[in-house]
């Protein structure tokens, strides 16, 4: 990280950090999908539209030295990758639609490029000693989670409109700090990397 980036480091000594593709370009489409989903499902904590992202790697707690090292590792990996054309496509549920714990939006377009970028990032981080999740990366946008100690209720009478959007060019990856609060997490960008 350069000297100008030092001001973006978290105020606390350690921070929960992750790397993600920001999806602000899709804010309008996501907002429309959320309004429809709210009619179908209740007892769900919905995400703030402006904070939607595709997580590429979750670090957990890092100190300032580890954050700086992670940014230095990520920069060449991301900046030697090309921009990615993506669109929102479909809606999904974990574990299933009748009793979802997580509600997500799917993606179409250059998803293979996105998977390759994520793999390149995790392989590089693994080579530098960072722990890596073993589960397969499946690109999606989490938009809602079941409220604590509540079952999601489904309005069977409401049928979802098609969930699709126009392709947009995604051209950045961000190293974020995740700040937990009673109102839900807030994401503070620490360093932005440009896909070139």
Q: What is the DSSP string of the chain?
A: --GGGGGGS-SSSEEEEEEEEE-GGGHHHHHHHHHHHHHHEESEEEPPGGG-EEEEEEEEEEEHHHHHHHHHHHHHHHHTS--EEEEEEEEEEES-TTS-SEEEEEEEESHHHHHHHHHHHHHHHHHTT-----SPP---EEEEEEPTT-PPEE-TTPPPPP-B---EEE-EEEEEEEE--TT--EEEEEEEEE--
Please report whether residue 145 resides in a domain. Answer: yes
Is residue 2 one of the residues assigned to a domain?
A: no
Band of pLDDT at residue 159, cut at 50, 70 and 90: confident
pLDDT of residue 155 exceeding 70: yes
Query: What's the CATH code of the domain at 40?
Result: 3.90.1140.10
Residue 172 resides in a domain: no
In a domain, 86, yes or no: yes
The answer on pLDDT for 144 being more than 70 is yes
174 belongs to a structural domain: no
Position with higher pLDDT, 164 vs 17: 17
Residue 76 in any domain: the answer is: yes
Quickly state the pLDDT bin for 163 (edges 50, 70, 90): low
pLDDT of residue 97: 82
Q: Does the pLDDT of residue 8 top 70, yes or no? A: no
Tell me whether residue 7 is in a domain: no
Instruction: Please indicate, yes or no, if residue 3 is contained in any of the structural domains.
Output: no
pTM: 0.89
What is the domain extent for residue 31? 15-167
Number of independent structural domains in the chain: 1
């Amino acid at each position: 990280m350069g000297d100008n980036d030092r001001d973006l480091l978290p105020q606390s000594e350690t921070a929960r950090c992750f790397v993600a593709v920001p999806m602000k370009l899709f804010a309008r489409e996501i907002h429309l999908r959320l309004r429809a989903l709210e009619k179908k499902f209740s007892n769900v904590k919905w995400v703030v539209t402006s904070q939607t992202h595709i997580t590429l790697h979750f670090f957990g707690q890092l100190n300032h030295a580890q954050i700086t090292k992670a940014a230095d590792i990520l920069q060449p990996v991301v900046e030697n990758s090309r921009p990615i054309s993506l669109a929102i496509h479909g809606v999904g549920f974990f574990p299933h639609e009748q009793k979802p714990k997580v509600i997500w939006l799917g993606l179409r377009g250059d998803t293979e490029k996105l998977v390759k970028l994520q793999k390149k990032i995790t392989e590089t981080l693994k080579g530098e000693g960072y722990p890596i999740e073993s589960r397969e990366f499946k690109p999606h946008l989490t938009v809602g989670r079941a409220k604590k100690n509540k079952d999601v209720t489904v309005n069977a009478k409401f049928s979802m409109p098609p969930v699709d959007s126009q392709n947009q060019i995604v051209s950045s990856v961000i190293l974020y700090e995740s700040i937990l609060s009673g109102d839900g997490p807030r994401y503070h960008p620490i360093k932005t990397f440009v896909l070139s």
